[in-house]
Amino acid sequence: MTLPELAALDAHFQAMPPAAAMRIRGEHFDGDTLRLHAPLSANLNDKGCAFGGSLASVMTLAGWGLVTLKLKRAGIDAEVYVADSQLRYLAPLYDDLHAEATLSDAGDWQAAVHCFRSRGRARLTLGALVRAADGQLVASLQARFAVMTATSADPRV
């Protein structure tokens, strides 16, 4: 059951002021895909459609959340950071934001877990997208996420 996992993720989002202001919530997690929701009313631009920064944020957080949840399921306690990303905005969105993230290559997951367990760090490539209510692709993101042990993640430690 993923409800406790989504509730924990939602609590984490509420502790991040920008994500809390966007009212981002977990919608679905099946182990391979994470879908987040954010209401359009909290993410409007001056044209009455979704703010581009909100689209970028909800897709980035979907990727971050997917890696975080998969690590927890694998029994790995680590910090996750976005390393780099490429965004494409394809059409305005006049609906709520629903971002869906998946691993770009399922083989990457096993390699990343092995790398993390042997070296204490790893990288994963993810894809995320937002579609309009009619299914039209509105925005897409390709991103690399860095996974590090808590002690290697903070140089002050």
Q: What is the 3-state secondary structure (H, E, C) of 99-118?
A: EEEEECCHHHHHHHHHHHHH
- Quick one: average pLDDT of 109-125? 93
On average, the pLDDT of the chain sits at: 92
pLDDT above 60 for 153: no
Strand order in the sheet with 121-131: 25-29, 33-38, 97-103, 121-131, 137-148, 79-89
pLDDT per residue as tens digits for the range 41-60: 999 999 999 999 999 999 99
DSSP string, 38-90: E-GGGSB-TTSSB-HHHHHHHHHHHHHHHHHHHHHHTT---EEEEEEEEEEE-
Q: Which domains does the chain have, with CATH numbers?
A: 3-153 (3.10.129.10)
How far is CA 45 from each of CA 40, 48, 55, 86, 137, rounded to the nearest angstrom?
A: 10, 6, 11, 21, 19
pLDDT above 50 for 156: no
pLDDT per residue as tens digits for the range 10-39: 999 999 999 999 999 999 999 999 999 999
pLDDT above 50 for 1: no
pLDDT above 80 for 104: no
The three-state secondary structure class of 26 is: strand
